[in-house]
Structure 1
Amino acid sequence: MSPRDAAGGSAGGDVGTGATGAGPVVPAASDPVAAEVAVLALGGEGRDGVQHRILTVLAERVGASAVALFGVGASDPWVSVLAHVGVRHAPDALIATEADRKLCTTEQASLRPSAAPEAGAIAALLHRDGQRIAIAAGLERHGVDQVLVVARARGAFDAAARAAVIGVAAVLAAVERRQQVTDLAARRLRQQAAVAALGQGALGGGEDLQGLAHATCEAAAANLDADLVTVLERGPDGLVALARAGSPAEPVAGELLRWEQLCARVMRDGEPLVARYPGDDLGLGRGIRATSEWGEPGSVLIVPIRTGLRVAGVLLAIWRQPVAHSDDDVNFVRSLANVVALATERSRVQAQLRLSVEELRKSAEDRSQLLAHIVQAQEEERQRIADDIHDDSVQVMTAVALRLATLRRRLGGGALDPLLVNLEHDVRQSITRLRHLMFVLRPPALEAHGIAAALHAFLAQVAEDAGLAYALDDRLPLEPEPEARTVVYRIAQEAVANICKHARAGRVEIALSAGDGGIMVEIRDDGAGFDTSLPQQAPGHLGLLVMRERAEQSGGWFTVESEPGVGTNVRYCVGSRVLSAGTTPPPGAGDGCGAETAGSVVS
């Protein structure tokens, strides 16, 4: 862009763009000083450097002994020396008067340096510096609260100098607006980055609620230049400070107490509250205004923290000085409040989840204890029945068999009555069946040698009785606890009994392994099979239900896969504390065995 392109007005100081423009705007290029400094403004140098060079050029071209750019706040009581050339005494800040603020609104005016109080801080500074005549040009009509002043120790400024001051003031205003736009963009980027980082922490769960709330307060204080930022959460007796950043602890309690009524209003209405100016009447009906306990007019910004339909607290930011908050600032604080709300909800859900997990763990322990009691009671009952059979029925039948044998010997070796022979045979067969029943009720190998040995002995007995070939594959790394192996054995016993009764199979294969935090068992036969879509018509249907109930009561599962003519595959898992501790359950596995998805679940 050329100086001519940048020029947008006349020598009188009219500008071509409003206060929101980002590029330098200068008067008509007929003013040589304005055109010259416009070229400087178009360079890539930072604002402070550009301002100093512009003031240097202006001092040389108009013959000024001192040139200064002052910032005069519309709401704060200070005059700041932003840049200067030739000023010997330039303090950082002066106390502003009404005369100084009027200079901001003046396009161009003569200024007589004076130490009189009514003359203002700028006039007093120039007088103290030895200047006797000056010209001031206000930048407020360009949207900037600044004043450009050129001064001399003697002599007067001509019309060309006055026009140059007006033109250069427009260029300086454009430089300031461009910097404001740049600062605003950088500020927005910083705010967005802060919200993104905090949001990631809230979603990731790597930081606790109090730590994230503290980081939120620090982000708000850093990006808004706030003196105090705090997160207040709803407590049983009112609002409680969860985290804070900014001022030391001493004045915080009183300061928070001062804003408690405003925070209560925000929590009730659910909308942000902004007090932007000193003495801003907040409509509390008790004469409370936006005045800080620090003794100076201040500003406050309060945003509700919503978790669902409930307001759980507020995010409160306080400034000692009055600050005009933009919509971007309010949206930034609202975004931070949303992050805290997300973390609060996450913390609540995690607490509920921990409670549920603890309840499930307790339930699993109770279920495990109940199962152990049930299995123990069942086995004790089986043992009692087996002992009764051994001590009573078997002994009686054995005595009968002995007496029949004695009777047969007394009758001699002649032809015996067939009835007597058949009776002795039936008695001995009954004794054999009773002894087999004792074995079924209380397999001695189960306690003495473990689940694999007990199943092997059982299958060997079945092979002898039913002529069924078998294979047993034991891959268990550890021997399960007694109640778990008893359940495994009983289900396998029932499954093999079903095969013998209904499947017309020639071979059965049993595989034992550890998985899903329990004992995995697979029983496969080559029998007739059946249609699993019609479970009520399945052979041994009630036995299947009993097997399933036993497996599920142990914290496991039970499935059956079968098709007519291709045999049946029974798979089940029984929960085991020993194997749960010795193996790593797969993802999604709960207490005992994980959920089984393959195959048809018999119901």
Structure 2
Amino acid sequence: MATASPFDAAVRDVLDRLHSATTELEGARDANEVAQKAADLALRLSRSTQAVVGLGGDRRYTRLFSRTADRGRPLSDTAALEMLVAAGFGAGAAAPREVGRVAGAELRAHGQTVGAIAVARAAEYAQAERLGLEVFASYVALAIIGASELDDRWQSMERVERAHELAVEVLLAVSSHAAKGENLTDFYRRLARTVGELVGATRVLFWRLGDDHMLAPIAGGFRIDPAFLSRLKPTRCEPERDDLASQVVFNDLIFRANKTDEPPEFAYVLEILGVSNAISVPWRAGEERLGLVAAYDSTRPGGFSREDTWVLQKAGLAAGLVTRLWHAQEDLRKSVERLTKVDSARQMLLKNMTTVVEKERKRFVSDLHDDALQMLTAAELQVGRLAREGQVDAPSLDKLRALLEQTEGALRRLVFEVRPPALESPDGLTKSIRDRISMLAASGIKPEIELDLTGEMSLDFRSMVFRQVAEAISNVERHSKATEVKVSLTTVDGGVLGVIRDNGEGFVVVERSNLPGHLGLLALRERALMAGGRYKIESRPGAGTHIEFWIPLDQ
């Protein structure tokens, strides 16, 4: 059964609140009313305790409008300015009072900055909330421009209200497509189709800015056929360039051109594109510049209108929000996958190490029982026999002495394997390894040793390296049926490189992380990896075994 993803929930929550807020802006009749409503709506949109809208250019605010969650404690103008400064949109350099967590955005549209908006609360703002506030700020800026003396061409209230209605439809479409889209390409395709229908465009296309600063069309356009796409070439786009694409992407230029324009300033652009008219707006997520959104060939006699640029701009801002959230969700998904793998590896490591420890305990008990304890039992029986006979002859004493010597040797070996006494000495690693290798003679295995260890090593590090070598040698003794073994330990690349190679019967390494019957080899791998090193084993029947590990020296 299909279920909504966290991404869907995040997008729908932010966009639903944006839709509600922008809808309420429609009734405002002048710039002051828009600003006052915006402060109240920003408070609810961002779930803040304080909100302020400042109107004015160059971050010098001539009018301030504020709201607080506690209506009985309004903000003073000084406190409102301090919020704007804390949000990064104040002209003053003085350190503001403590205002909690702050988020803000410029009120900018059609290349004009008409003010700024800021909100504050005790809790930190999530990325989605900050992006939602930036999108809302652009709507507020357009509403202020449309309802004030800043642009006389927008004084027709019918046009302003129609632009608001179209913008709301864009938000509804973005919310719906974000939830339904299978991926970003599908989302862009759905949104391009809706925008095309709203602005009466024959074609709508998203252009994405790449890491190489090349602006190129992406898949998912509306009615973009191969022939049209073949006419479009990637173009370099950078903040310092003054070409048309760079101005749209980085300087928020709203491009609108028609072949019937006088003078035909951008006729060459239309000719290259092979269209009669076009509009393009920036596609961004906050200050991150993603590219641009363009519509081509209006189906209306007069071409694209200012209301159409409003709709396209809202689509670009909302699409930027969705794109940023989508990428954030994808990064989160990958992080969860990595953490899941790490946790699985940790669980497997714990299971493996527990198995290895238990195996070593059983081996210790088995060796103690099969070797030293049996020898002690034989010595006890010998003493009992001598006591019954009432006499002690030389051969019996020799036999008893031999049993006790063998018992002592077996116990010393067990103690040595658990903790070689020489390891306590700073230079005791070499002696401990030589002592362990010398024990191979009892198994009929001829050893070859190469030791070249330099640098200071902690006791823990010496113990770990010794355990690696001892484990490898024990596997040679028990499983390989080898007659020769070469042990090499050298200091390489800031660590100790160990190589143990035998001429035994070998085996098939089916899966390096799970070698049935060779838990000692598994311990070798886990110990090296846990220390931040590496491990490798190579073996095949009849060709012996090659074990290699590298462990970094203590930092």
TM-score (norm 2): 0.39
The structure number with the bigger radius of gyration is 1
Tell me which of the two structures has the higher relative contact order, counting C-alpha pairs closer than 8 angstroms and 6 or more residues apart: 2
